[in-house]
Amino acid sequence: MANTISKGSLFPTVAVNELVNAVRGKSTLARLSGAPLIPFNGQTEYVFNLDSEVSIVAENDPKVNGGGTVTAKTVVPIKFEYGLRVSDEFLYAAEDVRMNYIRQFNDGFARKIARGLDIAAMHGINPKSGQPSNVVNGNDLDDLVSNSVTATANANADIESAVAMVETAEHEINGIAIAPAERSALAAITANGAPLYPQLSWGNAPETLNGLTFDVNSTVSFGTSKSLAYVGNFRDFLKIGYGKDITFEVIEYGNPDNDATAGDLKGHNQVYLRAEFFIGWAILAPTYFSRVKIGE
C-alpha cells in the first residue's frame, strides 16, 4: 500500500476502474453516448457521409459512383486535475484508513471529472475559471453544432423543432440532455387540464422520455451558456476516451495550491492530495445534433 500513495505514483487499478465507472454514471454526455469509456489507443475515428442511395446492379452492368466525403476525427486527451489539503495524519494512518482516504477522494474526484467533462465538451469552458478554454479550442457542442432553436414559451414545441432539424437531414435522434429550467418548463405544460409529462413532476427525471435516453443536468446551462437542451445521435457520434494512468500525488511540502492564506503544508501539519486524469472526446458529426438556446 505504501507504494500506491507515494509521490507521483499511479492510482491502483481497482481505483481506476471504480473512478471510470463513476464518471460514466455521473456524466450526462457519457451516459447519453451509451458506450463504456475506452482507453486511448491513438485510433482515429472516420465518419463517412455517403451522398446517394445504394445501386442495384444487374450482372455485367457498370458500377456507378455514389459520391461522398470522409472526415477524420481524433479523440484528443485533455488533462483534468484536482487537489485538496488533508491532515498529515494521512501519512501515518493504518493501511485500511489510507485506502479509505483514497476511495473517498476517488468518489469526489469522479464527480468533478464527470461534471468537468460535460462543461468542457458542451460549452468549451474551463470548469474552474468559468472562462473559455484554449485547450478545448472549440471542440464543444456550442461551437460545433450550428442547428439551433431559439427558446419560446412552449418548451415542447422548441424541442420538437430541434428534433426536426436533425431528422430533416435524415439523421437519427436517440438522446436528449436538458437543463433543470427546461425540465421544469416541460413539466408545467398541460393538455386538457392534465400534465403532458407527469413523469417530470416534482423534479423527477426519468431515464427515458418519449423513447429517448433522457438526462437532466445543470451543466447544460452552466455559467454564461445560453443552452437549454441538446438533442442528437449521441450513441454513434460522440466518442469519449480516457488515459488509464491516473497520477495520484501526495505532496508534503510547500504551497502546491498557491494559497497564500493556507500557507506552507509542513507548517500547518498538512499534506496535499492531487490527482490528474486525461479524458477526451470527439463530436464526430455536428449535423447529427441540435440545441435549444435562449435568444441573444
* Nearest of 174, 188, 18, 10 to residue 103 by alpha carbon: 18
Contact 77, 279 (CB under 8 A): yes
Q: How far is residue 108's CA from residue 131's CA, in Å, rounded to a whole number? A: 23
The H or E element containing residue 41 is none
* Residue appearing with cell numbers 449521441: 234
* This prediction's pTM: 0.83
Contact 236, 172 (CB under 8 A): yes
Q: What are the residue boundaries of the structural domains of the chain, listed by start?
A: 2-48+72-293
The dihedral of CA 94, 95, 98, 104: what is its sign?
A: negative
Q: How far is residue 284's CA from residue 44's CA, in Å, rounded to a whole number? A: 11
* Nearest of 165, 163, 207, 157 to residue 182 by alpha carbon: 157
Here the cell at position 68 is 461522398
Q: How far is residue 3's CA from residue 99's CA, in Å, rounded to a whole number? A: 12
Banded model confidence at residue 5, pLDDT cuts 50, 70, 90: very low
Specify the pLDDT at position 2: 34
Contact 234, 226 (CB under 8 A): no
Specify the pLDDT at position 240: 86
What is the percent of the chain where pLDDT is above 70?
Answer: 83
* Nearest of 213, 225, 146, 153 to residue 185 by alpha carbon: 153
* Residue appearing with cell numbers 413539466: 187
- Residue 184 DSSP SS3: helix
> Regarding predicted confidence, which is higher, 27 or 63?
27
Banded model confidence at residue 293, pLDDT cuts 50, 70, 90: very high
**What is the CATH number assigned to the segment(s) 2-48+72-293?**
3.90.1690
Q: How far is residue 241's CA from residue 125's CA, in Å, rounded to a whole number? A: 19
Banded model confidence at residue 291, pLDDT cuts 50, 70, 90: very high
Mean pLDDT for the stretch of residues 10-16: 64
Give residue-wise pLDDT tens across range 131-156.
999 999 899 999 999 999 999 999 99
Specify the pLDDT at position 61: 59
pLDDT higher than threshold 80 for residue 175: yes
Contact 257, 116 (CB under 8 A): no
**Angle 35-37-38 from CA coordinates, rounded to 5°:** 110
Give residue-wise pLDDT tens across range 194-222.
999 999 999 898 999 999 999 999 999 99
